[in-house]
């Protein structure tokens, strides 16, 4: 497997910390000190996540020099699709990827890493040649805008990578991975189905089924993240036969600058090797890794041959690491 191209797309509607000061009792200084987040991009009225997935996908295909018609599979990592029955097929249609099978994969912020590992299995077995992996979320849809502990954290966006089969000896770019889940931690982070008045059967006609707002126990999630991320990166490195010193970049889920810094410190990775765009986008869940990857590639920071230490972590609870070679 080789990672040949990346792309991303984010909504143009920007919500700054100053905007949030109008909604809830908070302020810019407090938000920046706690999270490192200054702005987030959110879907405007009528704007679809599907469209941002398509744009991100097109850009990844363009960079890779692969035609949409030659894509065999589209994996869409998302927890907030436009259609709760799945949005990958709508992306396939918009892209014109006629021969691709397409489906959604839900694993919150671990979704992109888990999808990349999943896609690689299809490439290694030789059944597919080109797979588009997209990470996208619009968590602004699940936010209670009166809850100042969560509404400051999340933003919307989409990122994508094109993975291609490469059977040559020693050329596989997924060097090692490690994935975990712990459903006992679901209570700390969720947006559960509320039904139609929470009843399985009701004599009342119902016009809308709904999911609840995002609930997050911030301190539990923080503790989990700073413990799980270094472990999963170290375990992935071990499987790759590499050490922390071999990493050119740490490309972590962009949840919160304090988590990025604490995880890098524990791993012993210097700050200049940790890519970050959390100040601009906030926590975009499954989109955050491909988004920061794409920006770093286009800025010329991440270059072909660079070794990346990736880790996604979040709801499930779930956490996943992968050591990948770019380009």
Q: Least CB distance from residue 113 to ligand NAG, whole Å?
A: 13
Q: Which of residues 74-113 bind ligand NAG (CB under 6 A)?
A: 108-109
Task: Please pick, among 89, 130, 253, 256, the residue that the annotation labels catalytic.
Answer: 253
DSSP code at position 154: B
Using the rule CB under 6 A, give the single segment among 45-53, 161-169, 253-261, 296-304 that binds ligand NAG: 253-261
Task: Please pick, among 53, 89, 109, 151, the residue that the annotation labels catalytic.
Answer: 109
153 contacts ligand NAG (rule: CB under 6 A): yes
User: In whole angstroms, what is the distance from residue 88 CA to residue 94 CA?
Assistant: 10
CB atoms within 10 A of CB 30: 14
For ligand NAG, the binding residue among 135, 290, 309, 314 (CB under 6 A) is 314
Q: Measured at CB, which residue is nearest to ligand NAG?
A: 314
Q: Least CB distance from residue 307 to ligand NAG, whole Å?
A: 25
User: In whole angstroms, what is the distance from residue 43 CA to residue 10 CA?
Assistant: 8
109 catalytic per annotation: yes
CA atoms within 13 A on the CB side of 35: 29
- On whether the CB atoms of residues 257 and 35 are closer than 8 A, the answer is yes
CA atoms within 13 A on the CB side of 61: 23
Is the omega angle on the peptide bond into residue 291 within 30 degrees of 0, that is, cis? no
* Burial letters 291-309, b for 16+ CB under 10 A, else e: bbbbbbbeeeebeeebbbb
283 catalytic per annotation: yes
Residue placing its CB nearer to ligand NAG in the complex, 252 or 322: 252
Using the rule CB under 6 A, give the single segment among 43-51, 121-129, 213-221, 302-310 that binds ligand NAG: 213-221
For ligand NAG, the binding residue among 13, 181, 186, 217 (CB under 6 A) is 217
36 contacts ligand NAG (rule: CB under 6 A): no
Q: Two tokens at 274? A: 């940790």
Q: Least CB distance from residue 15 to ligand NAG, whole Å?
A: 16
CA atoms within 13 A on the CB side of 28: 8
Binding string, residues 280-309; x marks residues near ligand NAG by CB under 6 A: ---x-x------------------------
Q: Which of 117, 56, 121 is nearest to 87 (CA)?
A: 56
Residue placing its CB nearer to ligand NAG in the complex, 130 or 285: 285
Q: Least CB distance from residue 292 to ligand NAG, whole Å?
A: 14
* Geometric angle at alpha carbon 10, from 14 and 29, rounded to 5°: 40
Using the rule CB under 6 A, give the single segment among 51-59, 63-71, 217-225, 302-310 that binds ligand NAG: 217-225
Q: Which of 307, 312, 286, 309 is nearest to 179 (CA)?
A: 312
Q: Least CB distance from residue 227 to ligand NAG, whole Å?
A: 12
Residue placing its CB nearer to ligand NAG in the complex, 37 or 68: 37
253 catalytic per annotation: yes
List the alpha helices (DSSP H) in the chain.
17-23, 28-35, 49-64, 88-95, 111-124, 218-240, 257-267, 278-281, 288-298
Q: Two tokens at 132? A: 């588009």
What's the Cα-to-Cα distance from 18 to each of 35, 44, 68, 98, 281, rounded to whole Å? 15, 18, 41, 44, 15
For ligand NAG, the binding residue among 131, 132, 229, 315 (CB under 6 A) is 315
The site that binds ligand NAG (CB under 6 A) totals a number of residues, namely: 18
Q: Least CB distance from residue 321 to ligand NAG, whole Å?
A: 15
- The catalytic site residues sit at 109, 253, 283
The binding site for ligand NAG (CB under 6 A) comprises 108-109, 139, 153, 189, 214, 217, 219-221, 225, 255-256, 259, 283, 285, 314-315
């Amino acid at each position: 497997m080789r990672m040949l191209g990346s792309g991303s797309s984010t909504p143009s509607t920007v919500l700054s910390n100053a905007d949030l000061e109008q909604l809830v009792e908070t302020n810019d200084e407090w938000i920046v000190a706690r999270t490192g987040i200054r702005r987030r991009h959110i879907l405007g009225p009528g704007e679809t996540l599907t469209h941002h997935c398509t744009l991100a996908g097109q850009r990844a295909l363009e960079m890779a020099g692969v035609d949409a018609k030659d894509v065999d599979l589209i994996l869409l990592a998302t927890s907030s699709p436009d259609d709760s029955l799945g949005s990958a097929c709508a992306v396939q249609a918009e892209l014109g990827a006629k021969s691709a099978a397409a489906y959604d994969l839900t694993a919150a912020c671990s979704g992109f890493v888990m999808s990349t590992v999943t896609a690689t299995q299809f490439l290694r077995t030789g059944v597919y040649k080109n797979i588009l992996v997209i990470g996208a979320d619009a968590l602004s849809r699940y936010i209670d805008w009166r809850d100042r502990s969560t509404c400051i954290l999340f933003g919307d966006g989409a990122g994508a990578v094109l993975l291609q089969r490469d059977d040559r000896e020693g050329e596989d770019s997924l060097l090692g991975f490690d994935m975990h889940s712990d459903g006992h931690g679901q209570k700390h982070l969720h947006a559960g189905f509320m039904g139609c008045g929470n009843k399985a059967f009701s004599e009342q006609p119902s016009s809308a089924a709904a999911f609840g707002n995002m609930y997050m126990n911030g301190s539990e999630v923080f503790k989990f993240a700073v413990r799980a991320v270094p472990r999963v990166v170290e375990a992935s490195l071990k499987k790759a036969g590499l050490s922390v010193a071999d990493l050119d970049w740490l490309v972590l889920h962009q949840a919160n600058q304090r988590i990025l810094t604490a995880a890098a410190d524990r791993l012993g990775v210097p700050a200049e090797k940790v890519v970050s765009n959390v100040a601009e986008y906030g926590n975009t869940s499954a989109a955050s890794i491909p988004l920061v990857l794409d920006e770093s590639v286009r800025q010329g920071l991440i270059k072909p041959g660079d070794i990346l230490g990736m880790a996604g972590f979040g709801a499930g609870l779930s956490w996943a690491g992968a050591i990948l070679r770019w380009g």
